[in-house]
Structure 1
Amino acid sequence: MSALPIESVLPQLMDALRGSPCAVLVAQPGAGKTTRVPIALLQETWLQDQKILMLEPRRLAARAAAGYMSKLLGEEVGTTVGYRVKNDTRVGPRTRIEVITEGVLTRMLQTDPALDGVGVVIFDEFHERSLHADLGLALSRQTQTLLREDMRILVMSATIEAEPVASMLDQAPIIRSEGRTYPVTTHYLTTKVMGKIETAVIKSIQQAIAEQAGSLLVFLPGAAEIHRVAGSLGALRLGQEVEIAPLYGNLSQEDQDRALAPSAAGHRKVVLATSIAETSLTVEGVTVVIDSGLMRVPRFSPRTGMTRLTTVPVSAASADQRRGRAGRLGPGVCYRLWTETEQRQLPLSSTPEIREADLAPLALELAAWGVSDPAELVWLDPPPAAAYQQARDLLVQLGALHAHGALTAHGKRLAPLGLHPRLAHMVLQAIPLELGAMACELAVMLSERDFMRAAEGRDADVRTRIEVLWRAAQGEQRADVDFGLCRRIAAEAKVLMQALGIRQSARRASASGLLLAFAYPDRVAQRRSTGRFLLSSGRGAVLPELQPLSNERYLVAAELDDNGPESRIYLAAPIQEDELLAVFESLLQQEKEVLWDKATESVKARQRLRFGAIILKDNPLQELSPELYVQALISGIRAESLELLPWTKSARQLQERVTFIHRHEEEWPDMRDATLLATLEDWLGPHLYGLKTKGAIGRLNLTSILEEMLTWEQRRRLDEWAPTHIQVPSGSRVPVDYRMGESPAIAVRLQEMFGLADTPRIAKGRIPVTLHLLSPAQRPVQVTKDLASFWREAYFEVKKDLKGRYPKHYWPDDPMTAMPTNRAKPRS
């Protein structure tokens, strides 16, 4: 066993774990922490005969770590060192070190919260901060605190900030180890990449093959880009000595092993990898790294309740991890496909998955653990409250949780399946319908990436994929299908069927929509027009390319994005209305809707059957209680701000007169528009019974209805306190305008007011009327509330002007004693 940098700090680490239940190990890439620390711990007396569990974030890394440690011990995997990953276990009766993926730890804890027989849990590469890693650490910490004080927890990482982790673990000791890496020359682009990244990657690969020796490790965001680059490189004919090797999580174990194995003598390898190769794995013979600077991460949108894979720039920490892969064996070279300016703009570290993930699986696991509030556990980053509540709401909708948060019997069956709660619910609901086998296949298929490689314009029909999956099992091949992934999906579905005791049943691809509706009741969609749909959640969705699904009346969308007002549908299947009516009775809502229809200016009564925002049936209602019609009319009147009412001049004047008095006598009713709108039920409601249309409303006597708001005494006083007209000295009865509010007004010719010394008053003599004095041509010449002052001071100036313009009219020198007239001159 060759010496590695980690060995210099192993004594310090062992001492720390002897004296403390927890420790944090920060070891740079190449230090050897993954393979040397577990083996060293085997010798500790506190461990006795207990096991070591070491968590790796990926299946490939778990298998590789177990294989390498077994090789160091000169044993087969499954002897002292074994592994447990999803649907693949190699452990034996003598196994002391189990390398497991994070989801496996969650299942082990749920089955045995005390982890009997386990002496230490190691969280390797914790800086990746997956949801399961955060959950596993929180649960392990509670197990340690409440049940197993003797159990140790060790968190290991290359780039994590150690202090927050140590603080979470009750100020655990921190041990640091330098890695062993050789210098790596780093090249940046001079200009930013425009267009697809694959073009820049291929150009850099050609340059590196021509300029450098050794194998190449190329980081790309996902499997789709890997396949496109591999196809382009194959067409370039780089030479027989250059081997192209993809490396990503969904590859078969044989293909993954081939990518990791050293090249044959005289050959070199171009490994096209996702971020799976950043840590824990050693790709033999690599001296050159080409980094696209991109990675694909899931992003959950609380706004839509959907998760989609998003391509984002890597963090500075991830970029350093990638570059370090070129310096494991000797001096290396790293080609970064971004500029130095872009490098300075990279985030320092990646966002923990718990902050941006769909938290429904986490909420289900916590409920199974017996925790209704995440605050009962200690977290490095607690789950965001809004996303967690949304997850709880979904689980209640699926029947997995009671409203108060406790796990239901159905939830207890969902939790152990290791599927997203939506998919687990789908499988269990399918079993009584004798569709369990197909549901298992569909659940596993939806948990993986799409095995049909066509990109733009691809067929979104899930039924097509189900049929391809079945034909692949019979050996049928298609150029646009990843058959390795098909085989793995079929194998995992078989394991799931065996776990549930499901026998192979009849296969009906036409049932895909029904099964998807169990998983995604919020994504049942109704066609609005060709290719455009309304989801039961209320959002819009679209199939941009015309395809057979575009004209289906109902769909269920299994995969869509959340961009813009209408989500793009990537995977869907049709469902029939009778299936929704027969199977989803508990989600259907009967509602009676009586409302004012502005277009027809009448009350419309409808009975609707809803599935969320979707209206399945909409029929007219013939018999309803009169109160519902009255409420609909009142809603329409409110919406139109009283304009539906038959306002006459008399009604408006009555409203204005009473409103004026109310300002001075509060016991009088308030007839302002805002108050009338707010109290329609009280003063207008009794008069609306039997009415359904605007025409019928128009026949109401609004003046009489408003008068009913007055007491007998108020009606008697109304003309006295707020008269409709005032008789002026000329004998004319001039209407009073109450629209002025505080000071009602009359407009009268100046000559008709001769002989009147004071301004007329109303409201028991408290309020002077505003006088708009007019010329013989009915044009305003003066506005005043003080007629006496006008006669004394302003009249003579006004007289000069009016006498010049109207010489035939009567303009006396003493207006207070002059004869009033409504003619040019008084009668003799």
Structure 2
Amino acid sequence: MNTPIFPIDPLLPDIRSSLAAQPRLVLEAPPGAGKTTQVPLALRNEPWLAGKKIVMLEPRRIAARAAAQFMAQQLGEAVGQTVGYRIRFESKVSAATRIEVVTEGILTRLVQADPELAGVGAILFDEFHERHLAGDLGAALALDIQATLRPDLRVVVMSATLDGERVAQWLDAPRISSPGRSFPVRVDYPPARAQENVEHHLVRVIRQALTENEGDVLAFLPGRREIARAQSALAQSLQRDDVEVVALHGELSLAEQQLALAPAEPSTRRIVLATNVAESSVTLPGIRAVVDTGLARAPRFDPNSGFTRLETVAISQASADQRAGRAGRVAEGTAYRLWPQSRRLDAARTPEIMQAELSGLALELAAWGSAALPWLDPPPGGALAQARALLTGLGALDTRQRITPLGRRMLELGATPRLGAAALRAPETLRALVADLLSLMEARSPLRGEQARSDDFRVRVTALHAWRDRRSATGYHSGADAGALAAVEAISKGWRRRLDVRSAASGVPHSHAVGDLLLHAFPDRLARQDESNPLRYTLSNGRGARLHEQTALMGEPWLVVLDLRHEARDSLVLSAAPFDPRVLERDYADQFQRVRSVRWNDERAAVEAFEEHRFAAIVLERRSVPVQAEDAVPALLAAIRSRGLDALPWSEAARRQRVRMQSLREWMPELGLPDVSDDYLLGTLHDWLAPYLQNKRKLDAVSENDLSQALAALFDYEQRCQLDAHAPDSLTVPSGQVRRLEYRPGDTPVLAVKLQELFGLADTPRIADGRVPVTLHLLSPAGRPIQVTQDLKGFWERTYPEVKKELKGRYPKHPWPDDPWTATPTHRAKPRGT
């Protein structure tokens, strides 16, 4: 057969010579350069391989099959001879296979089974820029093996869009870059029309792309649901025999995928509706226009709820550029972007390891024996600790974080740790049902219409069994999508093979069968109905959850919650199944306990004590018991922290003393005075207040005297003297009267005094060793404010004459001397007759 020429071909000698000289390499090449298929073929006979095979990690099953098929065709062979592939539930390899394309967790299974990788000479990580968790872990493990056991092992990181310099520094490896082969691509941003939704905008722009360009159109959408809607809308809008609309996503059968990747029939144009599987690795012939929604589906872990769900997110700039490049593979093309040109995208996608649930990774690391791997981006410590806590609860790790025999069996099974725990704890008679649950938990819901809103997970099981049993499509489960059920069934077959189950489950399972199995996957998400509110539940992790008003689970006392939406108060249950609580007593007896609990009753403003029978954080039974002295103080302190210091009965003198002390602490830090701010006192309640709470059960039992004593104990005698000297509670004014200073947090103190009492005083009084002027509120004889000033001298010189002129007639019985500097200060009116 004729061998096509690829842009990567001129670099193949450099790639071979580089790997002959050193064991690591970073290869940058854009989509279409040929790196995925030509590099493995070029390396298969290198002397350093010494008869060993090449393993290439491909992030997607579609790409893995396509790459293996293309390489096999180039060799004139069938897949499974020199070139083969292994993906979950599917394998085409033989003893003759020298190049093996693998996906997902296959590489880590190879490594865990044989840490020396005795039969492997090179590992190639394709499309590494996608930064999937499995790719990051596989690369870190490969580097660890290379550094400790196999210095001869070759590691090649290949990518279309990558921070090559950073990756090369991480690997301590040379970089080789291929320019690729591309034609100019015009980028257009056709705006949406008024009131036009995304779907109609997409269809209109696809029609525009067909008109303005030759060849086929590739449209990027976030997921299968959006693709199905777009297919339906295009079928109604186009009505053309010369245009074929095909889908491309990860849930298609092999035959459907091959149809999408094959060239269109002559005189037929094709519209390919694809998820981000079409960004790289797969070749789509004839594409001249790309229509990009700018969206993708990505897993997001919510640590508040403990759930991971697929969310629709904006793509990165790197992904947008890569998608646009698809239009310039064979000739000049056009990329239509359905977002405003002014919108700024993130430069690159966030590594999955930074935002995923990490229990699978934590289990792999426990089996490997160390988390100290040469990571490009290490896993976040908090998420890793949370994952290990989950694994301990599932029985996969012991209390010293070592992998248990159950944990090793979970790894061998290949399911997520949660689902693996459920599968391996299931009795033999229910393994067929377990296979269905594993597939339904992994797949999108097959329910449609009204059924899709059901929060009862058992409806999905019943729909699958009804479809499998070939029941009438017009009956109870008419809302189920046959195509989605077929995809679920394909996955279930794979699990049945792995679980050594010969026949599929059928019929309607026992009402508690589904929940009884799944509670072993989600022991931290068990929920018990509240006695006072049938829609509200308490989860075993202590949080609250609620059912929606039209729930199909009304009246169920116990639920295992499979999916929920985190909300500020009680999260909303999206999917759950009831279970028999006797299964808890049988399988989780160690989590039942009788404990004494103490809590604060806000209504009574008092401490209460109870003896409780609990499963995890769920209270099964509670009875009131007397409050013990050692219980009361911590509860009172917690109530004060929650309510704040204003909940305490501060006397006016104590409040003033605190403000004075805090003010002087700021003005004269060299004195080293104690911190009496709200934040500090709340943070140290146990140190200064606890001794004064002994034998108290209520906050109103704390007296003003208790607080004054507690506050006084914070200052020694010298500090109290410094307080009185530098931040006095009052000042004696020239009239001989004592007037109180009003202290304000963060401000200067205020002295409110009648103007006549200050005659003869030239300068504003100052405190804090002369550093802080007092703010004078000068009052009329009736006590009304006349002037606010910190410049008494200036007031006498400039303002007093005007004040005198205005007020002398109003207050004739009070002195208004022409010369306030020498006048006698007084707080009284003039004597009679003067």
TM-score (normalised: structure 1):
0.75
| CA distance 1:292–1:640, change in 2 (3 Å) | closer
* CA displacement at 1:107 relative to structure 2: 0.7
Show the counterpart of 2:802.
none
| CA distance 1:319–1:116, change in 2 (3 Å) | same
The alignment partner of 1:279 has SS state of coil
Q: Distance in 2 between matches of 1:69 and 1:646?
A: 82
Are the equivalent residues in 2 in contact too, given 1:642–1:677 (CA < 8 A)? no
| CA distance 1:617–1:175, change in 2 (3 Å) | same
Deviation digits for residues 752-782 of structure 1 (CA, Å, limit 9, x no counterpart): xxxxxxxxxxxxxxxxxxxxxxxxxxxxxxx
Show the counterpart of 1:228.
229
Show the counterpart of 1:25.
27
Are the equivalent residues in 2 in contact too, given 1:251–1:485 (CA < 8 A)? no
1:306-317 mapped onto 2 (5 Å cutoff): 306-317=307-318
Show the counterpart of 2:439.
444
Q: Distance in 2 between matches of 1:330 and 1:676?
A: 74
Show the counterpart of 2:393.
397
Show the counterpart of 1:382.
378
Report which stretch shifted further, 76-85 or 259-268. 259-268
Amino acid at match of 1:349: A
Are the equivalent residues in 2 in contact too, given 1:28–1:178 (CA < 8 A)? yes
Q: Distance in 1 between matches of 2:648 and 2:574?
A: 52
* CA displacement at 1:261 relative to structure 2: 1.6
| CA distance 1:389–1:210, change in 2 (3 Å) | same
Q: Distance in 2 between matches of 1:411 and 1:293?
A: 40
Are the equivalent residues in 2 in contact too, given 1:53–1:100 (CA < 8 A)? yes
How many pairs align?
691
Show the counterpart of 1:162.
164
| CA distance 1:53–1:631, change in 2 (3 Å) | closer
Q: Distance in 2 between matches of 1:214 and 1:637?
A: 72
Show the counterpart of 1:716.
none
Are the equivalent residues in 1 in contact too, given 2:607–2:627 (CA < 8 A)? no
Q: Distance in 1 between matches of 2:640 and 2:238?
A: 77
Q: Distance in 1 between matches of 2:648 and 2:205?
A: 76
| CA distance 1:796–1:297, change in 2 (3 Å) | closer
| CA distance 1:117–1:550, change in 2 (3 Å) | same
Q: In structure 2, which of residues 74, 93, 96 is the aligned counterpart of residue 94 of structure 1?
A: 96
Amino acid at match of 1:110: Q
Deviation digits for residues 75-112 of structure 1 (CA, Å, limit 9, x no counterpart): 11111111100000011221111111141111111111
* CA displacement at 1:435 relative to structure 2: 3.1
Show the counterpart of 1:475.
470
Deviation digits for residues 427-468 of structure 1 (CA, Å, limit 9, x no counterpart): 122237x43332232122212222224499611211000111
* CA displacement at 1:44 relative to structure 2: 1.5
Q: Distance in 2 between matches of 1:269 and 1:166?
A: 40
Show the counterpart of 2:277.
276
Show the counterpart of 1:511.
513
The alignment partner of 2:264 has SS state of coil
Q: Distance in 2 between matches of 1:676 and 1:53?
A: 62
The alignment partner of 2:571 has SS state of strand
Show the counterpart of 2:214.
213
* CA displacement at 1:563 relative to structure 2: 5.2
* CA displacement at 1:365 relative to structure 2: 0.5
1:562 aligns with 2:561: no
1:428 aligns with 2:458: no
| CA distance 1:486–1:598, change in 2 (3 Å) | closer
Show the counterpart of 1:584.
588
Deviation digits for residues 307-363 of structure 1 (CA, Å, limit 9, x no counterpart): 122212111111121112222222222211122212xx1111111111111111111
Report which stretch shifted further, 543-552 or 378-387. 543-552
Q: Distance in 1 between matches of 2:235 and 2:640?
A: 73
* CA displacement at 1:182 relative to structure 2: 2.2
Deviation digits for residues 476-513 of structure 1 (CA, Å, limit 9, x no counterpart): 44664343443343343343344344566794353222
Q: Distance in 1 between matches of 2:552 and 2:80?
A: 51
The alignment partner of 2:409 has SS state of helix
Q: Distance in 2 between matches of 1:620 and 1:510?
A: 34
Larger radius of gyration: 1
Report which stretch shifted further, 516-525 or 136-145. 516-525
Amino acid at match of 2:367: A
Amino acid at match of 2:468: A
* CA displacement at 1:196 relative to structure 2: 4.2
Show the counterpart of 1:367.
366
Are the equivalent residues in 1 in contact too, given 2:52–2:120 (CA < 8 A)? yes
Show the counterpart of 2:124.
122
Show the counterpart of 1:466.
461
1:546 aligns with 2:543: no
Are the equivalent residues in 2 in contact too, given 1:192–1:338 (CA < 8 A)? no
Show the counterpart of 1:609.
613
1:66 aligns with 2:68: yes
* CA displacement at 1:396 relative to structure 2: 1.6
Q: Distance in 2 between matches of 1:796 and 1:37?
A: 101
Structure 1 unpaired stretches of 5+: 653-673, 707-739, 741-793, 805-828
The alignment partner of 2:105 has SS state of helix
* CA displacement at 1:606 relative to structure 2: 2.6
Q: In structure 2, which of residues 55, 58, 75 is the aligned counterpart of residue 56 of structure 1?
A: 58
| CA distance 1:633–1:120, change in 2 (3 Å) | closer
Show the counterpart of 1:719.
none
Q: Distance in 2 between matches of 1:143 and 1:424?
A: 27
Deviation digits for residues 409-429 of structure 1 (CA, Å, limit 9, x no counterpart): 221221222111111111122
Q: Distance in 1 between matches of 2:395 and 2:316?
A: 39
* CA displacement at 1:15 relative to structure 2: 0.6
| CA distance 1:619–1:98, change in 2 (3 Å) | same
Report which stretch shifted further, 188-197 or 67-76. 188-197
Are the equivalent residues in 1 in contact too, given 2:629–2:694 (CA < 8 A)? no
* CA displacement at 1:612 relative to structure 2: 3.8
The alignment partner of 2:244 has SS state of strand
Show the counterpart of 1:358.
357
Show the counterpart of 1:521.
523
Amino acid at match of 2:168: A
Structure 2 unpaired stretches of 5+: 655-680, 710-741, 743-822
Show the counterpart of 2:539.
535
Show the counterpart of 1:349.
348
The alignment partner of 1:569 has SS state of strand
| CA distance 1:51–1:531, change in 2 (3 Å) | same
Q: Distance in 2 between matches of 1:531 and 1:236?
A: 45
Report which stretch shifted further, 309-318 or 548-557. 548-557
Are the equivalent residues in 1 in contact too, given 2:450–2:479 (CA < 8 A)? no
The alignment partner of 2:42 has SS state of helix
Amino acid at match of 2:346: P
Deviation digits for residues 264-321 of structure 1 (CA, Å, limit 9, x no counterpart): 2222222111000110111233222111111111111233322122212111111121
TM-score (normalised: structure 2):
0.74
Amino acid at match of 1:245: V
The alignment partner of 1:340 has SS state of coil
Q: Distance in 1 between matches of 2:328 and 2:621?
A: 67
Q: In structure 2, which of residues 409, 412, 432 is the aligned counterpart of residue 413 of structure 1?
A: 409
1:113 aligns with 2:115: yes
CA RMSD of aligned residues (A): 4.1
Report which stretch shifted further, 82-91 or 388-397. 388-397
The alignment partner of 2:285 has SS state of coil
Amino acid at match of 2:464: L
